Structure 1
Amino acid sequence: MTPAIDAPHPAMHVDLEYRSLVDQEQLESNSNFNIRIFTDGSKFEGKVGAALSMWDGAAEIKALKLALPSYSTVYQAELLAICRATRELLKLKAHSYGIYSDSMAALQTVTNVRSLHPLAVETRENLQTATYQKKLVNLFWIKAHAGLEGNERADRLAKEAAVGSKRKHDYDLCPISFVKRSIRMRTLDEWNQRYQNANTAGITKLFFPDAVAAHKIIKKIKPTGITTQLMTGHGGFSEYLNRFGCKDNPSCICEPGALETIPHILLTCPVFASIRYNAEINLESKMDKDSLHKFMLGKNRDIFLEYCCKLVNKVVNRNKSV
């Protein structure tokens, strides 16, 4: 963002607006300019480019391809193309200009005098300079992929710029979204390393061995008291209760010496053999320690969680009554 102190004084603001054109007929009725400039931005095969196509009557007089780094957004590319169009028209001697873009977001940013995006600020400064040069400049939004010749030409050029350009980038400021994503991924990676190297959270790791994958899944699960006890092993289970002196025996009711833990309840306890058998039929897979996390990733997550919560609820309620 451009620092507010570097932005133009409010008294210097120019009232800007754009018009929307939805078909060839409307475009033709708004083409009576000495120079028409079509702009576009593209992200293709992970690469980003922008372009402008300048027309005098029925002839293209200049085409520019602009390169951006892969972390840039299409929005930035669209803004760059519009900004470059205003920069180019300052070099020309023609009186009237029409700038056409299929990015409403970019045009809204440009015409919003409170927007401090550096490309928008420069665009408005260029348009202000154009008025000092007695030049008339109009901004238009046109519908993308509607067969409009100039727009289709700019679209092709932008794709070519994205894929084929090997020169220095015309704009290399990274978007805020990229910074946030980078910080988030670095944070998740650090969290994951600490999580996987720790000697704690053994039960949780059965369901979520990878913290990054867990970060995406856990938001889809409604937390309850039962799911929390299930995924931590901290709850009304004999082994856990015995550890804190709340129960004399850590064993399950199925067999003396068989610790009542989450893996035992879900995978081996004969008390729940029938429920387990039906669940495995619905899941179309055998359950074991190595497969629990796979059910959390797959399409059968809800079936699996329903089975787990049913068993945990039975065990917790049973131990409450003891």
Structure 2
Amino acid sequence: MKGKLYTKRMLNTLQSIQARAARVISGAYRATSRAALDVETFLLPIEQQIWKHNSYTVVRLLSSKNIAATSGFQTNTAQPTVADKTRRHTSSWQKVYNDITSMRTKNYDRQEQIPCFLTPPWRQGPTTYIDATAQEARARHDKEHVKEYSLSIYTDGSGIEGEIGSAALCPLTQQARSVHMGSDTESTVYAAELQGISLALQIAQEYASRNGARRDVAIYTDNQAAVWSIAKAEGRSGAYILADIARQVRELQDNGRTVTVRWIPAHVGIPGNEAVDKAAKEATGWREDGRRSLPADAPPQLFTIRSTVKRWCSIQAERAWIAKWRKDTKGRATYRHTPTPTKKVLRLHEGLTKRESALLVQLRTEKIGLNDFLFARRVPDVTSPRCDCGARRQTVAHILLHCSKRRHLRDRIFANLSGRDNIRTILGTPQLATKAIEYVEQTQILGQNRDRRREDDS
């Protein structure tokens, strides 16, 4: 396996294990294809799972400063020539890295570095407060605002139309700062919230350099995760911004200033919070009248957030699954109901028993104990694919839509429900799917249902 990510034999073994688990979960027939099982249970296929988890590992390694020594691959290297390929072995991790960079060329190597600790654990950071309720936080803010002894600065981060913006606003000095953090494929609202706090500290430092009278700096943010991150010294996503925040806090403290970061609820009518919310949105280029404008400038330091790269890897894995599912020649009965794999398929099973859920999967895959399927599988004692009503083939569509022998039962159960004449609608909507299960059970057309009823009667 030298230089390979996995062998075909290993892949087939893992696929068999997942298929076996999916059959146990869903109650599907063994004849159901692996591709259909994955879609019906919304399980990412093994091949895509391997790629995604390998990519996650590479992304995590990229956040380490000692990446070359710990992982055995190099970044920012030119494509090897034919001579290079014959001289040196390409590691599995290098192959994964090269695969990702060939697909994602924008800012991949500018991913953030996340150290174990940003500052010494004993450092004295800013004081942080998160009140138990929004009412308490609002009351505390209003009480402190009336006293007018703190330099109050409001911050916010915003994501709108795929762009991320950050802003800070100081009503006392009438100063406002905003930056554009890039698209949501590079940054997050959480990182923008941290950047807003960094901007607020810049305003506070300018105020201190002018010997401003207010010695206490009060920074207000409506993001609790940002407050928690500042309170701890551990490395985490947004580490480069957190390090900048720690540096600015230390400089203010050395200058005799105290720094407090408080959580306040959003959209409750606090003027400073409402104003900075608009400023953060406008930093993305958004305007209230619907027109687009130029975004604000980027901050001096801007790195791709690790979580956005992981999200991109997950999206790529799902796209590969979709493309493979559309080209597959197996599981076409399921494809007619679910042409694109989606988690929504699981909603069909909400409120169903295990037996009912298994029956629904069998109906959707058309691998079910009806004569057409059993005859094709050469099951003993099944000598014809015909239905007992005289139709040539006893299929799922025939039983649910056309069987003349069971028309009265079908009319009674489905009544006048909209969509009862469309097989995709019947097996694709929760209400009609439940009716279809009830109908099939009452027909006693399946052997397992007849056996179960005999057991109940005895």
Aligned to 2:199: 84
Aligned partners of 2:450, 2:275: CA distance in 1, in Å? 73
State whether structure 2 residue 236 is matched by structure 1 residue 106.
no
Residue by residue, what CA displacement relative to the aligned partner does 1:250-303 show, whole Å, maximum 9, x if unpaired? 32343556122222222222222223334554322352xxx4334455xxx233
**What's the offset of the Cα at 1:195?**
1.6
Alignment match, 1:132 = 254
- Structure 2 CA distance for aligned equivalents of residues 98 and 260 of structure 1: 74
* Contact 1:230–1:312 (Cα < 8 Å) also in 2: no
The two structures have a TM-score, normalised by structure 1, of: 0.81
Give the Cα separation in 2 of the matches to 1:81 and 1:102.
11
Structure 1 counterpart of 2:190, one-letter code: Y
The Cα shift of 1:136 comes to 1.9
**CA pair 44-203 structure 1, distance change in 2 beyond 3 A:** closer
- Equivalent in the alignment of 1:292: 423
Between Structure 1 and Structure 2, how many residues are aligned? 309
Report matched runs for 1:62-77 at 5 Å. Answer: 62-71=175-184, 72-77=187-192
* Partner residue in 1 for 2:417: 283
Q: What's 1:8 paired with?
A: 119
1:1-322 alignment runs, 5 A limit: 2-5=113-116, 7-12=118-123, 14=125, 16-18=127-129, 20=131, 21-23=137-139, 25-29=142-146, 31-33=148-150, 35-56=151-172, 59-60=173-174, 62-71=175-184, 72-91=187-206, 92-93=208-209, 94=212, 95-114=215-234, 116-117=236-237, 118=239, 119-162=241-284, 163=286, 164-170=293-299, 172-175=302-305, 177-208=307-338, 210-212=339-341, 214-222=342-350, 224-247=357-380, 248-255=382-389, 258-278=392-412, 281-287=415-421, 291-295=422-426, 301-313=429-441, 314-317=444-447
Q: Which amino acid aligns with 1:83?
A: S
CA RMSD of aligned residues (A): 3.0
Show CA shifts across 1:151-205 (max 9, x none). 2332232232231443443375455554444333322222222222222113212
Instruction: State the 1:46 CA deviation.
Output: 4.2
Seq. identity, %: 21
Unaligned runs of 5+ residues in structure 1 are none
Q: What stretches of structure 2 of length at least 5 have no aligned partner? A: 1-111, 132-136, 287-292, 452-458
The answer on whether the counterparts of 1:78 and 1:106 sit within 8 Å (CA) in structure 2 is yes
2:227·2:263 contact (CA, 8 Å) conserved in 1?
Answer: yes
> How much has 1:128 moved relative to structure 2?
2.2
User: Is 1:242–1:249's contact at 8 Å kept on the other side of the alignment?
Assistant: yes
Residues 215-224 or 262-271, more deviating: 215-224
Segment of structure 1 superposing worse, 4-13 or 183-192: 4-13
| Contact 1:239–1:249 under 8 Å retained in 2 | no
- Cα 1:275–1:70 change in 2 (3 A) is farther
| Secondary structure at 2:416 match in 1 | helix
**How far 1:64 sits from its partner (Å)?**
1.0
